[in-house]
Amino acid sequence: MSKRRVVVTGIGAVAAPGVGVDDLWKGLQKPPGPAPRHIPDWDPEPWIPRREARRLDKFTQFALVATDEAFAQSGEIDIDPNRVAVAVATGIGGLESLEMLVHESDKPEPRPSPFLVPMMMANAAAAAISIKYGFGGQVSTPVVACAAGSQSILDGLRQVQWGYADIAVVGGTEAAARVPAREGFKAARALSPSGYALPFDVDRDGFVMGEGAAILVLEAEEVAAARGATPIAEILGAASTADAHHITAPHPEGDGAERAVRLALEDASLDPADVVYVNAHGTGTELNDRTEGGVIARVFGDSQPAVSSIKGSTGHALGASGSVEAAVVVEAMRRNELPPNTGMTTKDPEIPLNDIVTEVREWEPGPALSNSFGFGGHNTVIAIGPA
């Protein structure tokens, strides 16, 4: 059996720079705000009835809102619902709900809500999408730290490529930019003391926590054609590896990350010279940015593509970051523009990147990579092409 081509027919996003893909894109062009990068004045009621929203953690609300936007672009899913898979990732899950449960349990006579356990479950968002739309295919939740959002795209790609599903609803969601998580990352010396993420900058000092979600609708090319859906991009290939090195620090030579990039190129039948843009993981931490820059330089050599990281604007939304960034790559192709590397003023001279996009730039869309590297040594790279 030959692999089926897999196209993207819809994207939706919720992020600190903007709710909805259009507002997110506009927000990426503004100066980044301070930490944490919360979604201001979040109110799910325009999309989710108040009674229902009260029974959903914010990370699930984000995912449902992003899904609504993705389906508005993709069109009604009118195929056998048992042929639709769902893969929605998270790094932490319903942290607010867990905090509420712990707080209630500490009382002399605890009376926790019966909804708190299903609200905090990592798989709650994927399950909520499956239940709302009646999708009966495989429903899964990759939990591989900061690579989770990209891993969901890889998982959905394989489901459709090999015929286990005809459509896959994929993405990531996170609402964990809360005090306990921030204190934990601070103790691990990962957070920026300045409160600003500066990817690839000489003065970078750590990442800034963010929140949000992105959903992509993937489907077999022939299925999209049969139901009249318009492809807006194609998932050309993907790969996932492990550093097998350290629970938080990347491999010092970027061994696992480099293998993931090279395997993604191989899976997509691309040569390094074919790639014209890389959306970098680019967290703004000392080790990640230096390691990733070295990986890109080694893989692409003299034909380095344009590079940018959007985490200066979005913050690092952990398990949602890879899907938000993949959605931005798709939108970059739709708009014929590249997003800027927000937060950088002076490139670190020790990072061997030749072309970091510092302002919105016109481009002729071509093959692009979206990199995600997570705690635990998880590396996932997605190759995306124009429709």
Q: Which residues are catalytic?
A: 146, 281, 316
Token look-up 């459709």 returns 160
Task: Answer whether 95's CB lies under 8 Å from 178's CB.
Answer: yes
DSSP for 70-116 reads HHHHH----S-GGGEEEEEE-SS--HHHHHHHHHHHTSSS----TTH
8 A C-beta contact, residue 27 and residue 35:
no
C-alpha 369/C-alpha 382 separation (Å) is: 6
Please name every residue paired with 169 in a beta bridge, in sequence order, or none if there are none: 86, 217
> By the 8 A CB rule, do 9 and 230 touch?
yes
CB count, 10 Å around CB of 212? 33
Least Cα distance to 260 among 143, 362, 383, 360 occurs for 383
Helix axes 58-74, 124-133, angle to 10 degrees: 40
Q: Which residues lie below 8 Å from residue 21, measured CB to CB, with a gap of 6+?
A: 11, 12, 13, 69, 327, 331
Strands (DSSP E) found in 191-285: 212-220, 233-242, 277-279
Q: Across the strands, what pairs with 8?
A: 218, 233
**Cα within 13 Å of Cα(327), Cβ side:** 37
Give the pairing of strands 368-374 and 378-386. Answer: antiparallel
Given a contact cutoff of 8 angstroms between Cβ atoms, the answer to whether 177 and 210 are in contact is yes
Q: Sign of dihedral through CA atoms 214, 117, 81, 236?
A: positive
